[in-house]
C-alpha cells in the first residue's frame, strides 16, 4: 500500500521530456551548423578530447536527479502494516442559549459571542472526545449530531444567532430534553451536557428535566455568562445600534445573569456551575471535570502505518547533481582505450 502526500508536484515531471526534446533540438542544430561551416571529420580531429556521448550522459544524470527531487517533494508513503487504533473519551453536548437576552453586551463582545468563544476554546482543549451542539431559546434545535469532527463543530458554532429559532424565551428544559435524545441506550459512552446561558429561565421545568437527565446518567454542567448588574439588549442593523429592547410598558429591558438557577440545575444532575466571564476559569473547571469522568472506548478503526520515503529520493537526487559536477565533457581515458563508440581512427 502507498499514498502520495503532495500529488500536485507531479506536474513538474512534464519538465523532464521538455528538457530532453530541447537537448535533441540543440544537438541537431549544432550538427546542422557544423555541416554548413566545416567538415565533421575535421572538427573531430581539431577537438580530439571532446566526447560524443558525455553531453547525453550528463543530461541523463540531470534529468534523473530532477525526477528524484520531484518524487521526493511528492513524498511517497508506503504502508508497512495495519494498526488498530482505539479511541477513548466521552460525548460532550453543548447547549447554547441563543435568546435575545444573549445579545446583551455586559460582557465583551456580547453574551452570545462570549459563549461561542468559550465553546471553541473548550473544543480546542479536547482530546479524543466527541461533541454535539444544541441551540435553544423558547424551544431547542439540534445544530450538530454527535461527531468527532471538531472543525465542522466550530464551523456550525459560528453560524448560531437569535434568528435561528423563532420561539423566544429561555427554556433550559427544552435543551435538556433534546440532549436526552442524543443518548443511545446501547451506547455505553459517558455523556456530559454543558449549558451556556445567562440563566434567565422563569420556569421550574428545568430542574425537573435535570433530575430526569440524572436518572439516565447524563451529567450537566452549567456556565453562566453575563453579570448580576445586567445590561440592555441592543437592537442593531448593519452593526449599528438603532434602539434597545423594551418591555410591554415601553421600558428598556435590563437583563441579568441568574447564577442561582444555574447552580440549582447543575446540582440536580450531579454537576457543577462555573462563572463564564473568565475564560481561564472555565477551561480549568472543564478540564478538571473531564479528568474525573471515566472514558470509554467508542471507536476502533484499522489504519495503515504509512512511512515517508522522501528522504531516499532527495538524497539520491542531490547525489546525482553532485556527480554531474565531476562529469566533464572530455573523453574518459579508460573509455577511450576501450573504444566503445569507435571514436578511434
Evaluate whether 147 touches 130 at the Cβ level (below 8 Å). yes
For 14-32, write each residue's pLDDT tens digit: 988 898 898 888 878 877 7
The helix/strand/coil state of 250 is coil
Domain definitions of the chain by residue range: 2-75+309-338, 86-300
Residue 343 has pLDDT above 80, yes or no: no
| Residues 6 or more apart whose Cβ sits within 8 Å of residue 66 | 15, 16, 19, 317
Residue 48 has pLDDT above 70, yes or no: no
Between these two residues, 156 and 321, which has the higher pLDDT value? 156
Which residue is listed with cell 435590563?
Answer: 254
Q: What cell does 200 get?
A: 434567565
Measured CA angle at 97 (ends 96, 100), to 5 deg: 145
**pLDDT band at residue 43 using 50, 70 and 90 as cut-offs:** low
Q: What cell does 59 get?
A: 543530461
**pLDDT band at residue 110 using 50, 70 and 90 as cut-offs:** very high
The DSSP secondary-structure symbol of 146 reads: E
Mean pLDDT of 82-110: 86
Evaluate whether 126 touches 92 at the Cβ level (below 8 Å). yes
The DSSP secondary-structure symbol of 330 reads: B
Taking each helix axis from N to C end, the angle separating 150-158 and 111-124, rounded to the nearest 10 degrees, works out to 170
Mean pLDDT of 233-240: 82
For 181-210, write each residue's pLDDT tens digit: 988 767 777 889 999 999 886 667 888 999
- Going from the C-alpha of 35 to that of each of 43, 45, 47, 259, 330, the distances in angstroms are 10, 15, 16, 98, 22
The per-residue pLDDT for 199 is: 85
Of 143, 133, 124, nearest to 92 (Cα)?
Answer: 133
User: What does the H/E/C string look like for 43-64?
Assistant: HHHHCCCECCCHHHHHHHHHHH
Rounded to two decimals, what is the model's pTM?
Answer: 0.63
Give dist(CA 268, CA 61) in Å, integer: 76
| Lowest-confidence pick of 40-49, 121-130, 217-226 | 40-49
Between these two residues, 273 and 58, which has the higher pLDDT value? 273
Handedness of CA 242, 247, 248, 249 (dihedral sign): negative
The per-residue pLDDT for 9 is: 85
Give dist(CA 302, CA 186) in Å, integer: 23
The per-residue pLDDT for 190 is: 86
| Lowest-confidence pick of 119-133, 194-208, 301-315 | 301-315
Residue 124 has pLDDT above 90, yes or no: yes
Q: What cell does 119 get?
A: 465553546
Q: What cell does 65 get?
A: 536527479
Q: Is 172 exposed, middle or buried (0-12, 13-18, 19+ CB in 10 A)?
A: buried
Q: What percent of the chain has pLDDT over 90?
A: 29
The per-residue pLDDT for 84 is: 65
β-strands 91-97, 76-89 pairing: unpaired
**pLDDT band at residue 163 using 50, 70 and 90 as cut-offs:** confident
Which residue is listed with cell 466550530?
Answer: 154
Report the CATH number of the 86-300 domain. 3.40.50.410
The helix/strand/coil state of 104 is coil
**pLDDT band at residue 284 using 50, 70 and 90 as cut-offs:** very high
Amino acid at each position: 500500500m502507498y499514498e502520495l502526500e503532495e500529488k500536485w508536484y507531479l506536474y513538474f515531471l512534464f519538465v523532464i521530456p521538455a528538457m530532453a526534446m530541447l537537448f535533441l533540438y540543440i544537438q541537431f542544430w549544432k550538427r546542422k551548423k557544423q555541416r554548413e561551416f566545416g567538415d565533421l571529420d575535421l572538427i573531430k580531429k581539431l577537438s580530439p578530447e571532446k566526447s560524443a556521448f558525455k553531453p547525453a550522459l550528463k543530461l541523463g544524470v540531470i534529468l534523473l536527479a530532477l525526477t528524484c527531487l520531484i518524487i521526493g517533494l511528492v513524498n511517497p508513503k508506503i504502508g508497512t502494516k495495519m494498526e488498530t487504533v482505539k479511541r477513548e473519551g466521552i460525548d460532550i453536548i453543548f447547549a447554547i442559549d441563543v435568546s435575545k437576552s444573549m445579545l446583551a453586551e455586559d460582557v465583551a463582545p456580547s453574551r452570545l459571542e462570549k459563549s461561542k468563544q468559550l465553546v471553541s476554546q473548550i473544543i480546542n482543549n479536547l482530546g479524543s472526545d466527541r461533541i454535539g451542539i444544541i441551540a435553544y431559546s423558547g424551544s431547542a434545535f439540534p445544530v450538530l449530531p454527535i461527531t468527532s469532527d471538531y472543525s465542522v463543530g466550530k464551523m456550525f458554532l459560528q453560524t448560531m444567532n437569535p434568528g435561528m429559532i423563532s420561539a423566544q424565551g429561555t427554556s433550559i428544559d427544552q435543551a435538556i430534553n433534546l440532549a436526552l435524545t442524543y443518548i443511545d441506550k446501547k451506547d455505553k459512552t459517558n455523556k456530559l451536557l454543558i449549558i451556556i446561558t445567562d440563566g434567565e429561565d422563569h420556569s421550574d421545568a428545568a430542574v425537573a428535566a435535570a433530575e430526569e437527565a440524572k436518572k439516565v446518567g447524563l451529567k450537566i454542567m452549567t456556565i453562566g455568562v453575563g453579570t448580576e448588574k445586567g445590561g440592555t439588549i441592543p437592537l442593531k442593523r448593519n452593526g449599528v445600534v438603532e434602539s434597545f429592547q423594551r418591555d410591554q410598558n415601553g421600558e428598556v429591558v435590563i437583563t441579568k445573569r441568574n447564577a442561582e438557577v444555574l447552580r440549582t440545575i447543575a446540582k440536580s444532575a450531579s454537576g457543577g456551575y462555573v462563572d463564564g466571564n473568565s475564560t481561564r476559569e472555565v477551561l480549568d473547571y472543564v478540564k478538571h471535570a473531564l479528568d474525573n469522568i471515566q472514558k470509554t472506548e467508542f471507536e476502533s478503526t484499522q489504519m495503515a502505518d504509512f512511512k515517508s520515503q522522501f528522504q531516499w529520493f532527495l538524497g539520491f537526487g542531490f547525489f546525482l547533481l553532485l556527480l554531474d559536477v565531476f562529469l566533464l565533457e572530455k573523453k574518459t581515458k579508460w573509455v577511450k582505450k576501450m573504444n566503445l563508440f569507435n571514436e578511434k581512427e
